[in-house]
């Protein structure tokens, strides 16, 4: 039985672009993180948590693409896996036995697996001769328009072996020769990743604030939405994996420059980093670069993270601790201070931390990570990410987001007209809400990875 663990927050949406006359299909990758009422609704849960009980934590967590499988439908969530081809869910048999008789254990078990599937309860499930696979009716619950297949192949796992990010959840395979892509989008191996800042851009699930569930970005399959990025595409080969990583993840970037504000912290030595497209980790920097970051920002290390007095962080935009990385393919990305640093008054009234970890940190040993890592949940803040399995390459471009300030066409450069709805400094409500969501995500990932 899995131990009760806090589900990490990262969300994802799948926007599936179908060519010619077919429509764009949006399949959100979501995160429900309690307490109620922002936990997963009871109607999606086999064993709802008794949140009124004295020993029950106030949460019902789920993370992944929301699937309904079988007849009658059972609800499970499966995070995307970009270098595996198969889809897997966890078997309901994992939440059985005498230890499930303790109060709350059955509910926590289902939550830890992000939903479970009982093949014996589905009248339409057909087990394959190839274990652990079978076929059944699968519907992508939040898809717009509907996305369903009566004979979708997937695996039902009845062991507690962690998945590729060290978790007990299932996975939705979106690698080369993906069963999902071949079933729904034959001949299409293009995937785009686009951040949304908390809600689906297509309205399903319905927008809410705070989001329930949280939708952070959209995947576009079979093509790229060109309105979501601008300028040059900076390409990179898919593979081989970094020799410094114990992962088979083939997505890497060679970091040739890194600075905090105007302060160079690379020290002249480029490094190869794995790109965590699962979005389950913070940036992990080489020791020398990490130490230089802490020195430049005046941080103090607590529990492996640089910490600060929130009131002492720079407020003048020219002095803020924005982190900029430049890669060998010519692309540069900047992580703003508002996103990189998380204010956490629930821990201490003036407490803040930087969401950056150090290579070799003991806390990472159980998380299946080694070597430098660039986090998707930080990279996608300002970048559109394209994956082309057929071409064997992926690329980065500057994203165009709803919270971006448009270039002014006002010729009065002395007193330009303010943008409607914008706060002082030109940050509009959409950006402020996106920053709140992004900072919360970064804090939770850094704390629990």
Confidence at 98, pLDDT banded by 50, 70, 90: low
Query: Could you give the residue ranges of the DSSP H alpha helices within 71-217?
Result: 105-112, 179-184
Given a cut of 60, whether residue 224 has pLDDT beyond it is yes
Confidence at 168, pLDDT banded by 50, 70, 90: confident
- Longest alpha-carbon distance in the chain: 74
CATH superfamily of 235-394+435-448: Acid Proteases (2.40.70.10)
User: Count of CB atoms within 10 A of residue 236's CB?
Assistant: 17
pTM for this entry:
0.81
Q: What is the pLDDT of residue 21?
A: 35
Q: What is the pLDDT of residue 412?
A: 40
Q: Domain boundaries in the chain?
A: 12-224, 235-394+435-448
CA distances from 133 to 147, 183, 410 (A): 21, 15, 61
Between 135 and 241, the higher pLDDT residue: 135
Between 369 and 313, the higher pLDDT residue: 313
Same fold for the domain at 12-224 and the one at 235-394+435-448? yes
Mean model confidence pLDDT for the chain: 79
Given a cut of 70, whether residue 102 has pLDDT beyond it is no
CB within 8 A of 349, min separation 6: which ones? none
Fold of 12-224: Cathepsin D, subunit A; domain 1 (2.40.70)
- Among 224-228, 321-325, 339-343, 344-348, the minimum mean pLDDT is found in 344-348
CA nearest 174: which of 397, 422, 388, 411? Answer: 388
pLDDT digits (tens, 9 = 90+) for 350-399: 999 998 989 988 767 655 668 899 988 888 888 999 999 989 999 999 99
């Amino acid at each position: 039985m899995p131990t009760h663990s806090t589900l990490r927050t990262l969300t994802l949406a799948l926007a599936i672009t179908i060519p010619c006359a077919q429509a764009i299909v949006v399949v959100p990758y979501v995160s429900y993180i309690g307490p109620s009422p922002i936990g997963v609704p009871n109607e999606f849960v086999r064993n709802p948590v008794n949140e009124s009980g004295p020993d029950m934590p106030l949460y019902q967590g789920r993370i992944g693409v929301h699937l309904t499988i079988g007849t009658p439908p059972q609800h499970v969530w499966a995070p995307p896996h970009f270098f595996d081809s198969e889809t897997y869910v966890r078997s309901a048999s994992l939440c059985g036995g005498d230890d499930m008789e303790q109060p709350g254990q059955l509910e926590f078990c289902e939550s830890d697996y992000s939903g479970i599937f009982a093949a014996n309860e589905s009248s339409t499930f057909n087990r394959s001769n190839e274990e652990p696979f079978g076929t059944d009716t699968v519907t992508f619950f939040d898809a717009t328009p509907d996305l369903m297949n009566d004979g979708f192949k997937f695996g039902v796992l009845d062991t507690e072996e962690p998945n590729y990010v060290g978790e007990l959840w299932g996975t939705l395979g979106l690698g080369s020769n993906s069963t999902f892509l071949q079933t729904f989008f034959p001949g299409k191996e293009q995937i785009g990743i686009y951040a949304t800042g908390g809600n689906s851009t297509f309205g399903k699930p319905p927008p809410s604030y705070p989001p329930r569930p949280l939708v952070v970005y959209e995947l576009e399959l079979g093509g790229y939405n060109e309105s979501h990025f601008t300028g040059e595409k900076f390409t990179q080969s898919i593979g081989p994996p970094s020799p410094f990583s114990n992962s088979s993840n083939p997505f890497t970037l060679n970091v040739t420059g890194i600075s905090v504000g105007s302060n160079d912290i690379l020290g002249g030595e480029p490094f190869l980093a794995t790109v965590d497209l699962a979005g389950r980790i913070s940036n992990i920097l080489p020791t020398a670069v990490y130490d230089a970051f802490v020195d430049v920002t005046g941080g103090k290390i607590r529990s492996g993270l640089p910490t600060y007095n929130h009131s002492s962080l720079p407020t003048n935009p020219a002095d803020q601790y924005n982190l900029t990385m430049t890669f060998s393919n010519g692309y540069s990305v900047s992580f703003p201070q508002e996103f990189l640093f998380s204010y956490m008054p629930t821990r201490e009234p003036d407490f803040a931390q930087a969401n950056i970890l150090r290579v070799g940190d003991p806390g990472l040993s159980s998380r299946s990570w080694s070597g430098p890592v660039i986090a998707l949940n930080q990279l996608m803040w300002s970048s559109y990410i394209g994956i082309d399995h057929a071409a064997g390459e992926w690329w980065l471009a500057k994203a165009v987001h709803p919270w971006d300030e448009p270039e002014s066409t006002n010729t009065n450069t002395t007193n330009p007209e303010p943008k409607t709805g914008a706060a002082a400094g030109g940050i509009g409500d959409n950006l402020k809400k996106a920053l709140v969501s992004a900072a919360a995500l970064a804090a939770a990932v850094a704390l629990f990875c």
